Amino acid sequence: MKQLYLLFLLFSLPQLLVAQSGAIKGEVMAGQAPAGYASIGLVGTTLGGTADAAGRFELQQVPEGTYQIRVSAVGYRMTEKRVEVRAGEVTALRVELQQQDARLGEVVVTGTMRETYLLESPVPVEVYTPKYFLKNPTPAIFEALERVNGVQPQINCNVCGTGDIHINGMEGAYTMVLLDGMPIVSALSTVYGLSGIPNSLVERVEVVKGPASTLYGSEAVAGLINIITKSPATAPRFSADVFYTSHRELNADVAYSRQWEKLSSLLSANYFRFTDSRDVNHDNFTDVPLQHRVSLFNKWSLARKHNRIANLAARYYYEDRFGGELQWTPAFRGGDSLYGESVYTRRYEVLGAYQLPLRENILLSYSYNDHSQNAAYGTTLYKGRQRVGFGQLVWDREVGAKHRLLLGAAYRYTWYDDNTPATQQSQSEENLPVHTSLPGAFAQHEFKASGKIILLTGLRYDYNSEHRGILSPRFNAKWSPNADNTFRLSLGNGYRVVNLFTEDHAALTGAREVVIQNELKPEQSYNASLNYQRYVPLSSGFLNLEASAFYTYFTNKIVADFLTDDNLIIYDNLSGHAISKGVALNGELAFTFPLRLLAGATLMDVYQVQADEEGRQEREPQLHAPRFSGTFTASYQFRNKGLSLDYTGSVKGPMFLPVQENDFRPEKSPWFTLQNLQLTKVLQEGLEVYGGVKNLFNFMPEHPLMRPFDPFDKQVEVDNPNGYSFDTEYNYAPLQGRRLFLGLRYTLPQQAK
């Protein structure tokens, strides 16, 4: 009898659960048009989904009760409405979205290490969504950042194509790149790790320009870029994006997500292949390095009581990259017959966050990465491995109505080993790994003096096992006299502990020998910036303007001297000081008809000052730092035909370049522009095809390599009156001309629950 009773309960339980639940059915509108693919979620639960192309949605099996339903869509303000669900009934709902005032309603975490609305943040943060980057599709986030004003993805080697990201003219080692707030891309991985982050992972990118060392420690001197990955709970059930170019580049992004009662998962894969040995400039070297890479990403999220955070993610990345003479094959790797730069990279990452089950808001974040690199730069063989473990505990609490306190402690451990002088002991030739311990503590106080004024102060102390204690304070102030005008003042101190051989690819290439003049000391920087935002409502849309002025002063700056000797790179602390200063302007103009314009420009002066042999102050300009740079985007939608047209581009002014003595190449690059055109057609619900032209005007730099016919310098004394030597560092633009591209994109919304 008991067995029959249990069997009855087993079969009747699902019906009982359904009988005690209801459903929510509705539509999401943006003015007169539906808000297709808007994200739907019930606050405090894992229930949610995505609207279809017509803005319709349905959530089934919702337990009886009262909820806040949250609706968001790119370009519109997030909206919450109260909804009551009754057992056995379908609740009808209509949600009206308001156009977002140039992304001011978005939530950001980077500036203050806690969630806050962008409009309320005392730290100026720029937010970019995948939709913005899809206007000119790229295989990785590295290339996509070219469209951010003041941010410059810089190629540092014309053979293997390594690069870093400059902010306001400062070299890539001063830019911290975070993945979900974790310092994943740093030190050794900076050289190649940036190209391994596919756009399929990205929920949004947050950019802070100026020192952020108080919260994030070393490397965040010029600023930081925080890549926020997609949430498994709201990601589409399935998505795929594949494009192919006329240069035979193939890029494929595929993602799948699934939700259970309390658990959700996102699995993403990226594949990129480029195997066309192009040589447009006829120097017998590949114009663009051949690449073959795979990236796998898996993220899990657990729904907990009180909406506490619990997520875990892992990523694997592998790349085979080659650049060099066209006749090169792997049999010549490391030899001096044919020149080639061959790099094998393998990388594992684990990162996550867990909010402690306490009444206080205490968040534990952690990450670990293992990066291995096996490279041959001509005859120079380089093998490096790095392991970085990071843990951070942050307590966030409101103290009364006007005060908010954030306290944190962090620990970072780095293990590094290679076959260069970086790990060679001074007293012997023995090669031993470097162990670096970096504990730190920080405090931040936010004071809402009034509805118009917010003050933010912070202080951080780090103790580096190599360089001892380092203190970095910060001060931020925000004043909004009204809803349409906002001023932000930032003052800060930054520091950087240098990992010379792991950060600078120039130190690894076989073209030059590295010389460290003296024992290198940590760098210090002092920064001030003033930011102003102005929102102008128009009868036919809105105009959003932003202006910033920045000034950074460096002491103990580590500089690389390429000019004293053509065969050497001489590193030393600057005896004087360095300065980065300038102004940046951004504008966004949106109309009620489907036209949106964005433009940005940065005017800057970056240089260093030190005494010459006679004691006179000598000013030297920073290499690869254009005085002027700009970006622009124009987007128009033909709604009746399901078409959208995007015209994007960037403009760069002259920049100083590393030249040799009596170099026939100019020491400054010319003005140039890279422009792109894309047309997108919606075929059916969730399916669209796109295509266009990259580098519309077919711009390519001239003479990127010095003496490519003698890469091993075997004949430098033959018919070479100027004593030129092979060099790969003369670069100011991608070595890839005009190319067509065609792609297909499909999105299957999350199933409603």
Asked if residue 334 lies in contact with residue 381, where contact means CB atoms within 8 angstroms, the answer is: yes
Task: Give, for 165, the enclosing helix (H) or strand (E).
Answer: strand 163-167
- pLDDT of the residue at 6: 44
Q: CA 444, CA 442: separation in Å to the nearest integer?
A: 7
168 versus 496: which is more confidently predicted?
A: 168
Burial of 519 (0-12, 13-18, 19+ CB in 10 A): exposed
Superfamily of domain 2-96: Immunoglobulins (2.60.40.10)
As given in the structure block, the two tokens for residue 287 are 């114009």
Q: What is the pLDDT of residue 47?
A: 80
Residues 6+ apart with CB under 8 A from 15: none
Q: What is the mean pLDDT of residues 720-748?
A: 91
CA distance linking residue 325 with residue 222, whole number of Å: 36
Amino acid at 13: L
Torsions phi, psi of 221, nearest 5?
-90, -50
Residue 188 pLDDT more than 80? Answer: no
Question: How confident is the model over 704-714, as a mean pLDDT?
Answer: 91
CB atoms < 10 A from the CB of 19, how many?
A: 12
| CB 382 within 8 Å of CB 192 | no
3-state SS, 43-65, equals CCCCCEEECCCCCEEEEEEEECE
Q: Which residues contact 1 (CB under 8 A, 6 or more apart)?
A: none
Query: How far is residue 54 from each of residues 34, 93, 131, 190, 548, measured CA to CA in Å?
Result: 5, 15, 19, 43, 40
Q: b/e string for 236-272 if b means 16 or more Cβ within 10 A?
A: bbbbbbebbbebebebbbbbbbebeeeebbbbbbbbb
Q: How many CB atoms lie within 10 A of CB 648?
A: 23
Question: What CA dihedral angle connects 154, 157, 161 and 162, to 10 degrees?
Answer: -60
The whole-angstrom separation of Cα 652 and Cα 180 is 31
Distance of CA 295 to the CA centre of its chain: 16
Residue 506's pLDDT band, with cuts at 50, 70 and 90, is: very low
Lookup: tokens for 369: 């990465």
Q: Which of 346, 344, 500 is nearest to 423 (CA)?
A: 500
Q: Provide the 3-class DSSP secondary structure of residue 158.
A: coil
Share of the chain above pLDDT 70, in %: 85
Question: Would you say the CATH fold of 228-748 matches that of 2-96?
Answer: no
Q: Residue 567 pLDDT more than 60?
A: yes
Nearest 5°: the CA angle 400, 403, 409 is 115
Looking at residue 11, its pLDDT comes to: 41
- Of 508, 509, 398, residue with least CA distance to 446: 398
Q: Which residues are CB-contacts of 565 (< 8 A; sequence separation ≥ 6)?
A: none
Task: Identify which has the larger pLDDT, 210 or 542.
Answer: 542
Strand partners, 408: 394, 442
Q: What is the pLDDT averaged over residues 724-731?
A: 88
C-alpha 232/C-alpha 311 separation (Å) is: 9
Q: What is the mean pLDDT of residues 660-687?
A: 93
Decide if pLDDT at 339 tops 80.
yes
Q: What is the model's pLDDT at position 13?
A: 40
Q: For the chain, what are the domain ranges? A: 2-96, 228-748
Query: Are the C-beta atoms of residues 353 and 363 closer than 8 Å to each other?
Result: yes
CA distance 170 to 4: 75
CATH number of 228-748: 2.40.170.20
Phi and psi torsions of 124, nearest 5°:
-65, 120
**200 secondary structure, DSSP code:** G
Question: What pLDDT is stored for residue 356 in this prediction?
Answer: 94
| pLDDT value for 678 | 97
Sheet holding 48-50, edge to edge: 48-50, 39-42, 65-72, 79-85
Q: How confident is the model at residue 174 (pLDDT cuts 50, 70, 90)?
A: confident
Which pLDDT belongs to residue 62? 87
- Distances in Å between the Cα of 122 and the Cα atoms of 43, 549, 751 are 26, 16, 38
Q: What does the pLDDT read at residue 10?
A: 40
Q: Write out 635-648 in H/E/C secondary structure.
A: EEEEHHHCEEEEEE
460-502 confidence digits (pLDDT tens): 898 887 777 888 888 999 999 988 899 999 988 877 766 655 4
pLDDT in tens, 276-318: 899 998 999 999 999 999 999 999 999 888 888 999 999 999 9
What distance in Å separates the CA atoms of residue 81 and residue 70, rounded to the nearest whole number? 7
pTM, 2 dp: 0.80
pLDDT at 578: 84
pLDDT (tens digit, 9 = 90+) per residue, 93-148?
Answer: 888 887 665 445 566 666 666 666 667 788 888 888 888 888 998 888 888 888 88
- 453 touches 482 (CB < 8 A): no
pLDDT in tens, 409-460: 999 998 888 887 666 655 556 678 888 888 999 999 999 988 899 999 988 8
Percent of the chain beyond pLDDT 90? 37
Number of residues that this document lists for the chain: 753
| Phi, psi of 568, rounded to the nearest 5 degrees | -125, 155
> Chain centroid to CA 146: how far?
11
Cβ–Cβ under 8 Å, residues 386 and 188: yes
Name which residue leads in pLDDT, 212 or 678. Answer: 678
Q: What is the pLDDT of residue 102?
A: 46
pLDDT of residue 447: 93
Q: What is the pLDDT of residue 639?
A: 80
At 270 the three-state DSSP class reads strand
- Distances from the Cα of 512 to the Cα of 71, 377, 506, 563, angstroms: 56, 11, 8, 12
Phi, psi of 213 (to 5 degrees): -65, -25
Write down the mean pLDDT value for the chain. 84
Q: Is the pLDDT assigned to residue 17 strictly greater than 50? A: no
Question: What would the pLDDT profile of 49-80 be if each residue is shown by its tens digit?
Answer: 888 878 888 888 888 888 888 887 766 767 88
- Top-confidence residue, 42 or 688: 688
- Looking at per-residue confidence, does 580 or 514 come out higher? 580
pLDDT greater than 50 at residue 579: yes
What is the pLDDT, as a whole number, of residue 105?
54
